[in-house]
Structure 1
């Protein structure tokens, strides 16, 4: 019996009570408004509801009286062992072993679809993340967004959303000029410009540009040389970034070039749209957006007095472009150094007539430190000044790297202990979860060798306390996925998987799937195999949402 079934049962019970007590009160009660939750203490039962406390006042009764009536009705329902009133009016529900155990078959039958929901069915969502400047390897802040962003996209898709993963390719502006000058300086044997980029990768890219150039680079004047290093060097750097992300399991549907905004006239269209809405004005020879109308701390220059577009002008064009492409929700992941940028972006969205926090949502991620022997990892030899994606993957691999970056809330700074992630022990969270999955696979293989299969299913036999606890956790998976999607917090999946792994290991230690010695195969063994396989399926589905593999052997 699922939470949905219980909610429907409570609805069927409370509706006639409401109709008897107060005419018209039943109209305010909906099936969707009835919540069923896990009690914090499992000794209190399998499920709990605060429905009586919420409805007592409008129904003209006290919570415990209403809860008692509902509990008496629940106790008569097949599959419910007991329903008890607790505290001010909570209803604690305990399922029969048969009703609870039925979940194992439900999960196995659903397979890869177990955990999916419809929270965002049909909603087109644009998820922009990483968007690192193509001037060097991806640093750890960008790597964190790669792992979190891709996982969030998977979670949103599991809830029915149509998600477009988008990378904003910043190929327009001063940082590209600095990158080009740095490449040219290396080619000419000059010192790195004072505001330029260092690191071995600059030399590598510069040498590739020269090798790819079909002509005599030395015959060109300095401006022409710099333009070649700008165009081809940026292209090479970006292709490397894409290749590294692909190796990390992160691919994008759209790579949007900033240059396109200016070349296509998107910026001009956005300004004219805002002007027509009455939010653009001119002062001191510059063009301004009146963002203070929408809570910003000051108005923003769009076009400077010298005719050059200000940085926010690209944001205007880009946001309007996304809305014109039909995205109802636009999520942008930004680094901690962009925290002060949120106010003006939300004001911009509202100026277009949209709803901040709905049509535009901004997630801020904090920095990541890698630790080795308890000390911060020094700068990358290749990048020169930063620790990169390669440094993480080389140290612990893709799975451990992704899992470590996703398992903590992204709005908190994160220290990653490389020594811990390299261990094959239960202290290593990714190993702990992956090992649980590998163990379910091993049980499945061994069961086949001794004739234990899923030819019978007797859920009432799953009565051991560790089975009840494990089934209770497996039941939670769809709710956890929905919560992770709604709150934009994929780390909830990782923490949940660690809980399931722990419960599975305890069940494995207490309940045998395989017969001992000459013990005949029974329906208990067969039914426990269903529970074993259901657990493996949930762990596999959860790891898939994090972009982490579920090995069958370790």
Structure 2
């Protein structure tokens, strides 16, 4: 339990004891109902610091049951609360809010916790070891990754890290769509380019819905270097399959390389084709049929979505006997939640998949799986901006900008930080100029500079033989400046921020937290010198900034962003 959780539990216990004492001495009326104050009392941090460290609205909650004015209830409870421990003062405000003011001792203990827990500071046991799979990016392997994949990669990977810090057993997974229509189209495109390279562009008409990218032509050229015209006169299916077998593995290998460069390392690369080979797609369809959720029409097998309360029915098996992507996706989620028995599956999807969410959840319910075990995070579009203009094309290639193009233009640190600055549900404008700027206007620079500045201060003092002392050897009560206390408070917030981030599935909260922490440090730095003549105060401030350094580095490490010691 974190310090702040311990204090909140202490306050709620005191509220409960104060209520019981008020009833016992007649300050509050008795009731036949068994009132559990500990479950009813909720603490909030007031937006206005003058209203205390915590506020509780328990008096308003009890007003109806006790048939008593909230203000009178609040007065009775506070009059009977033990004000010892971390509580410095209590007041009743407004209609009956109870505001709690804490002595700063608990803030000082934050430094002791950081010293004791080291890189584990902030970690909590919210997940209690539950198995969670985070599936993200899962880019189509028929081409390079685009900006949506870049944002999804940062969000998914950072969310996985947050969940690990929150006590979950996390698996990162990439779902390879190596079956179905897009692979058929991939094969036709490759086959056409192969023939055109050997016999000329007029030899065969390129498929109207084929993949037009230059990478298809490059694959055909490289294939010819290896096999020449070996597959020119064979059957179309044999040629397509040979080209798919060659190019698909090249693309998957490139995806792995690009993502590793982006600091994303997956635990599992799961192939859609396995679901077909193992009969899992057929099995999923049969389960839906057995439970009465399918029907046959026009030679196809349909999922009866109307029976689920949805408007549009979906095809599971086409007239040609080939299962749809949706059928495979149902089988994939059965595999996640039943075969591999993950407690929770989290998918990062583009906002264009919005209509797919209800269908997938209802399909899971239809096969007897609790749909609450699937969480979908919908991610809005990202726009690249430069000098106030939208950037759509790569200067180098003149084509749509890929992840690789982006990482040639901005640092990996900037890319991961910027893509994680706003919640997944918000549109994001990625400012290329700002991402490259070496100034405090650039948020990742601002945070990294705070870390480097602290390292520089401690390095200079160390050269003078002055080093950070253990918490037991300093006098933390000397830290009384408002900027010092604000910095301590921000350090103490980390466990709670991790909890909120994990519960809301919003890793962007951690980016905002580390920006706020850097801001609190810079404010402190501008107000208070560290190397002062008072050695006791100097030692306290050294300890404070060393703890700040450690927490900034820890959060950046969580986000897989470097924490430089010099800039």
Aligned CA distance change for structure 1 residues 411 and 173 (closer, same or farther; 3 Å): same
Counterpart of 1:348 in structure 2 is 363
- Who is 1:115 aligned against? 122
Query: Bigger shift: 98-107 or 528-537?
Result: 98-107
Q: What do residues 445-483 of structure 1 show as CA deviations (whole Å, max 9, x unaligned)? A: 223233142142222111101112112222221111111
Residue 525 of structure 2 aligns with which residue? 508
| Higher mean C-alpha deviation, range 171-180 or range 486-495 | 171-180
User: Which residue of the partner structure matches residue 163 of structure 2?
Assistant: 156
Q: Residue 466 in 1 paired to residue 473 in 2?
A: no
Aligned partner (choices 95, 98, 109) of residue 91 of structure 1: 98
The match for 2:506 is 489
Query: In the alignment, which residue of structure 2 is the partner of 1:53?
Result: 60
Contact 1:7 1:34 in 2 (8 A): no
8 Å CA contact 2:7, 2:86 repeated in 1: no
Post-superposition offset of 1:70: 4.2
Equivalent pair of 2:31/2:66 in contact (CA under 8 Å)? no
RMSD: 2.4
Cα separation, partners in 2 of 1:69 and 1:206, compared to 1, 3 Å: farther
The alpha-carbon deviation at position 365 of structure 1 amounts to 1.1
1:132 to 114, 120, 139: 139
1:250 corresponding residue in structure 2: 264
**Deviations 1:176-225 (CA, angstroms, capped at 9, x unpaired):** 23323333444432555432223443343333334455x76366526233
> Distance between the aligned counterparts of 1:83 and 1:53, measured in 2?
17
Question: Cα distance 1:100–1:58, how it changes in 2: closer, same or farther (>3 A)?
Answer: farther
Looking at structure 1, the residues matched to 439 and 348 of structure 2 have their Cα atoms a distance apart, in angstroms, of 33
Structure 1 residues 470 and 126: alpha-carbon distance in aligned structure 2, compared to 1, 3 A threshold: same
Matches of 2:128 and 2:4, distance apart in 1: 20
Distance apart, 1:254 and its partner CA = 1.2
Matches within 5 A, 1:19-30: 20=24, 22=30, 28-30=36-38
Are 1:124 and 1:162, in contact at CA under 8 Å, matched by a contact in 2?
A: yes
Distance 1:79 1:523 in 2: 24
Does the Cα contact within 8 Å between 1:108 and 1:537 map onto a contact in 2? Answer: no
Contact kept, 8 Å, 1:128 with 1:332, in 2: the verdict is yes
Of 352, 370, 382, the residue aligned with 1:337 is: 352
User: For residues 540 and 340 of structure 1, do their structure 2 counterparts lie closer, same or farther at Cα, with a shift above 3 Å needed?
Assistant: same
Q: What residue in structure 1 maps to residue 312 of structure 2?
A: 298
Alignment equivalent of 1:67, drawn from 67, 74, 89: 74
Contact 1:217–1:225 (8 Å) recurs in 2: no
219 and 300 in structure 1: CA distance in 2 versus 1, 3 angstrom threshold = closer
Task: Name the TM-score, length of structure 2 as normaliser.
Answer: 0.90
Shift of 1:408: 0.8
Partner SS for 2:44:
coil
Q: Number of residues paired by the alignment?
A: 547
Q: Relative contact order (alpha carbons < 8 A, sep ≥ 6): 1 or 2 greater?
A: 1
Give SS of 1:217's match: coil
- Counterparts of 2:41 and 2:490, CA distance in 1: 21
Contiguous gaps of at least 5 residues in structure 2: none
TM-score relative to the length of structure 1:
0.92
Residues 1:59 and 1:472: Cα distance change in structure 2 (over 3 Å): farther
Q: 1:236 matched to which residue of 2?
A: 250
CA distance in 2, matches of 1:514, 1:220: 81
Report the counterpart of residue 208 of structure 1 in structure 2.
Answer: 222
2:209 alignment partner, one of 195, 208, 216: 195
Deviations 1:369-422 (A, max 9, x none): 111232222323677642110121111110000110011112222111110111
Task: Out of 176-185 and 469-478, give the one that drifted further.
Answer: 176-185
Give me the whole-angstrom Cα distance separating, in 2, the residues matched to 1:60 and 1:113: 48
Post-superposition CA distance 1:411-452 (Å, at most 9, x none): 222111110111111110111111111122222222323314
Asked if 2 retains the 8 angstrom alpha-carbon contact of 1:540 and 1:550, the reply is yes
CA positional deviation for 1:544? 2.2
Residue 392 of structure 2 corresponds to residue 374 of structure 1: no
Moved more, 327-336 or 92-101: 92-101
User: Is residue 155–residue 545 contact of structure 1 (8 Å, CA) maintained in 2?
Assistant: yes
More divergent stretch after superposition (97-106 vs 258-267):
97-106
**Other-structure match for 1:105:** 112
Once the two structures are TM-superposed, the CA of residue 69 in structure 1 deviates from its matched residue by 4.2
CA shift, 1:289, in A, is 2.4
State the match for 1:549 in structure 2.
562
From the superposition, tell whether residues 438 and 22 of structure 1 become closer, same or farther in structure 2 (CA, over 3 Å): farther
